Every structure is written in structure tokens, then in C-alpha cells.
Structure 1
């Protein structure tokens, strides 16, 4: 599995994502590097603006501009961010989900970077030496993507195994009490991220967008329920269901 996935602005399909493995790197800037990379067509972006390098479960950002500070924020945090000064190389970025913001001639340009290989293991070693077993699916239950997955599976976890999956609009309304700024685009974004993190095969790019999303939701719910990635106890990440709502 790739260590780092760079999602360009207005990314329209999986094919537009840039994927690098541990030890690899890509450059980004106004013109696409000769070896391939992320091109950001804006007059305020340097020709070679920076570099992203994958390092195991996190990534490094080099700011190759002369006078602009870059900001990397955790879109799921409460303002959590780091600043990378001009000329700084290989600044470590610890966020599993990150948004890079480049100031460019009065505009703020952004692109996303995902590090889905974050892994966790139990501290219970029972006296065994050596490396622990890497979990098959590493999910952080404090992240919003997990709340999206829980909302997706909620009906079936509450005793309706054949219930239709909720539409994206229904997921938005279900999450709004605990996530006031949730939007359709945010839910779509998290569904796409979950598909990458759980290593689902992407649907054919020729399919209609609605069908691609529906197939992705079905695949995610099927995988999560089959392997108990989400259990009924995990529904505590959602706000209590409204009184009288279907359970």
C-alpha cells in the first residue's frame, strides 16, 4: 500500500491522485516537474514550490519558496496546524489527514495529503519479544471518517440487516448534531478516504458519479460489518438518534 497520497485541488477521480511509497518523493509547483509531480497553475506559485516525501507512516514537507510560509492543518482538528518557513526542508507532518495551504498573490491555494498507513497495536505483549502484529485495518475511532462509517452502518447495526444504506444527505443530517459544519462534500471526501484506507478497489471511472459513490458505500459497509470494524457499541460516536427516528 502507498504510504502517502496527494489529492490535487478539484481532484475528479482516483486516477488524478498522486501516490508515493516510503522513500519516494514528488515536487509541486507552478509547472509540473519533468519527473512528474503536482502542477498548480497559478502565477503566485513558484515554479518549484516544494517537495513531499513519504517516510513510513508520516510524510515530510520541504518549502522551497523564497518568502512564503506554508501552513499544514489537520482538517479534523480544532485549529491544529504547523507552519513550514521558507527554505525549511523535510519538516515532519504528523497528521493522518492534512491540508496544505499556499499563499499565492492574494489567494490561498490548498491541496490534501493523506497518510492512510497509520498503524496501531495493543500494548499487551504478554512477554513476547520482537515487533507486534500489524492490524489488518487501522482505524482511529476519534476521527470524523469513523463517524461517517458508523453513520453508514448504523441501520444495519441496529437490527435491520437488509436496510438500505443512507443517502449522503441523510448522513449529513445524522452527523450534524455532533459536527455542525458537516457538508455533502465533506461526507464524500471521507467516503473516498475510507475507500483508500480500507484498500477497496476503485470503481470504474466510466461509471456515473452517483453509481460510483453508491457502490463505494455498499463496499465499505459490507467490509466494515463483515469484519466488525464497526460494532453497535461504536455508535456512541454519533449523537443520540432523534426521538421517534427509525432505529
Structure 2
């Protein structure tokens, strides 16, 4: 595993008695640690969680070669680690538990508070390690293989990717990358993706581009021909360029194939022809 991404949403941070601050994103490699809690001048933390029910040093995240671990420093509070892609799947990390291994690719770490809503942050662990095929020879330590593009075909981000690639796979003409609103509409009625908002779809596209397919911002801008644009127009071009680059790479390396279209809900026009 090349590392993890930790994201604290806007409004969750801030100092005691102050409104939550802006969003925080950390990138951690193997062996690195990030601490979380209320923090203070004598107890520095990388993720500051603004709630009086949370300890100054509430816990820490540690990255290993093939997973990440969560330590709970609280003496009284149990933390939850939820799998947003797992239909309610979660695990508990009890008080004083050290180095609990977390198996999820997407995780939401939830800390209890005295308010109506709990405090949480997300952890993304993009890369997976696989054994070489039987007969490849060599020991496990010498033959560990990391896939070039490690995607979970049951995850919502992959569903979004399939929807983006659908026009090419169905050989429609003229071919254009679906817009974010078009992806939202295309997934409407899907069991897990039917409730996605435009913001959620954009977040999945960002995750695909930045973490799963590792398409740099400069490359995405070049794809869109964004040179010379400023302000809102440039931001729109970068967004379009990122979508174009994601689709181009996914199709070029057969990350998404025709059989993946079965993951999408039936098309409305197909139902109309059937009637």
C-alpha cells in the first residue's frame, strides 16, 4: 500500500469554543502517524476536532505497508469505524485499544459527542497487495505484486466510472463524456448509487483521478486545453479535463469494459422500446 488519505470535512475542526474550521486533507505513507483530538498548545494534533467531549489526544492513525491501524487513547469512549460502501458494516475500537487493524478501503471514523451529530473524518486506502498467480515462483516476500490500477468493482466510485464510460462502450455517436448532472440522472434508481448528489459524484471523480488512476492536475488541464483560462471558466475546464482524462485512461487500459455495463440501472429508452 503506497499510503492513505485522511480527510476532515469543513466545519469539524477549530479551537475550543470556536466554529469548525476548513477542510483538512493529509497524505500519509508507510510508517507515518497522524494524531487526532481537541489538541492544545502542549498537545499538538494533525487533525483538530472541535468538540468538548473529545479528548485533547483522542487517538492516532498509523500506516503500515499493507493496511492502517487506529489507536484509541480515550479511557471511556468507544470509536466506530464505518464502511460507507458496506451497507452498514462497521467495527468498534474500544477504549485504550492500540493498533486496531482497519480492513476497509473507504472508512469513516466516528467519535461520539454530546451534540446531536457526531464528529467524523474519512480515511481512504487506495492500494491493495495481491499474491502472484500460482506457479509464478519465488517467496511471498520477494514476489509481492501491487496492481497498477487497484479498483473495487463493488464500490460507488467504480459505478460512477462506468457511467462516465458508458457512451464509448455502447458506441454512441457523437461521443461525449457525460456531465456530472447526467451521471446523477443515469444512476437514479440504482440500489446504492441512486441517491448520489452532484457534489458526491464530483468527489468520486476527484478520488478516481487523484488516488485510483493517479491523473495529475496538470494532465487534466492539458486534456481540457485550459491554458489561459481564469476564474470560474478555468475551474470548469479543469473539471471537464479531469473527467475526460479519467475516461480516456479507463478505456485505454480496459479498466472498464463492456461487461461492466450490467452494473448500471436499465436505460429509460430501453424500457420504452419494450413497451
Q: Same fold (TM over 0.5)?
A: yes
Offset, 1:220: 0.7
More helix by share: 2
Residue pairs, 1:72-151, within 5 angstroms: 72-106=81-115, 107-120=117-130, 124-126=133-135, 128-130=137-139, 131-151=143-163
Whether 1:62 and 2:90 are equivalent positions in the alignment is no
Offset, 1:182: 2.1
Q: Could you list the runs of 5+ residues in structure 2 that have no partner in the other structure? A: 12-22, 222-229
Deviations 1:131-189 (A, max 9, x none): 15432111121111111100011111211375221111111121122233222232122
Length, aligned pairs only: 240
Deviations 1:74-118 (A, max 9, x none): 101111000111111111110000111111222301110000012
Contact 1:58 1:96 in 2 (8 A): no
Offset, 1:211: 3.6
Residues 191, 119 of structure 1: alpha-carbon distance in 2 compared, 3 angstrom cutoff: farther
Alignment match, 1:191:
205
Contact 1:32 1:39 in 2 (8 A): no
**1 or 2 for the larger relative contact order (CA 8 Å, sep ≥6)?**
1
Deviations 1:193-240 (A, max 9, x none): 212121121358x86454433222112111111111111121111122
Alignment match, 2:224:
none
Alignment match, 1:168:
180
Whether 1:45 and 2:57 are equivalent positions in the alignment is no
Give the TM-score, by structure 1 length.
0.87
Whether 1:224 and 2:224 are equivalent positions in the alignment is no
Match of 2:195 among 181, 184, 188: 181
Greater gyration radius? 2
Contact 1:121 1:135 in 2 (8 A): no
Alignment match, 1:5:
5
Residues 215, 207 of structure 1: alpha-carbon distance in 2 compared, 3 angstrom cutoff: farther
Match of 1:26 among 28, 34, 37: 34
Residues 132, 68 of structure 1: alpha-carbon distance in 2 compared, 3 angstrom cutoff: closer
Moved more, 92-101 or 127-136: 127-136
Residues 55, 32 of structure 1: alpha-carbon distance in 2 compared, 3 angstrom cutoff: farther
Q: Could you list the runs of 5+ residues in structure 1 that have no partner in the other structure? A: none
Give the TM-score, by structure 2 length.
0.78
